[in-house]
Amino acid sequence: MERLLNRFRIFSFRCQLCTTRFRAHRNQVPGRTSVADRRQYKRLPVSFRANLLAESAARNDHRVTDISMGGCTLETTATLPQGTCIGLVIKPASDEEPIKIGTAMVCSSRPESMGIRFLEMVADDKNRLSQVILSLLVGQSLHSNLLS
């Protein structure tokens, strides 16, 4: 169905903040994404502290190096196998309330980092994450406008 709609220049999009999927007509074909990158959300570079909530993981601090509404990259010395379900508490800033991800899954595991997909979080935490993403997107937009 997607391919048929694409022929008529109707493409699927996903809101980076509210996660709603929608279709829109475009005169130009949107840029092709890499076949290897199947993410639905743009990852934004950050440096947030995080606590990993897993029985087999050390309870020390870890660092989120990029984030989106769908997941993050966690810089850590803990090694968990792909498919492991965990909980995660992300601390965007010292003065902000932490964002609790009730259920997340390890999608990739590298020597010093893990790719994490968010599966479940309560509405308040999802709203806080959305606000953090919004501020990152606005900051990124302002930064690129200053450079041009």
In a domain, 64, yes or no: yes
- Assess whether 135 and 65 both reside in one domain: yes
- Assess whether 19 and 48 both reside in one domain: no
- Residues facing 87 on adjacent strands: 53
CATH of the domain at 91: 2.40.10.220
Alpha carbon of 6 to those of 15, 22, 132: distances in Å? 19, 13, 32
Model pTM above 0.75: no
CA distance 85 to 61: 18
CA distance 56 to 53: 9
- Assess whether 89 and 138 both reside in one domain: yes
CA distance 41 to 108: 17
Q: Any idea which of 27-31, 62-66, 67-71, 103-107 has the lowest mean pLDDT?
A: 27-31
CA distance 72 to 101: 11
Higher-confidence position of 94 and 134? 134
CA distance 127 to 133: 10
Q: How confident is the model at residue 39 (pLDDT cuts 50, 70, 90)?
A: low
Range of the domain at 142: 44-147
Q: What is the pLDDT of residues 111-145, one digit of tens each?
A: 899 999 999 999 999 999 988 888 888 876 555 55
In a domain, 33, yes or no: no
- Assess whether 92 and 61 both reside in one domain: yes
- Assess whether 54 and 105 both reside in one domain: yes
- Assess whether 99 and 49 both reside in one domain: yes
CA distance 43 to 39: 9
- Assess whether 2 and 49 both reside in one domain: no
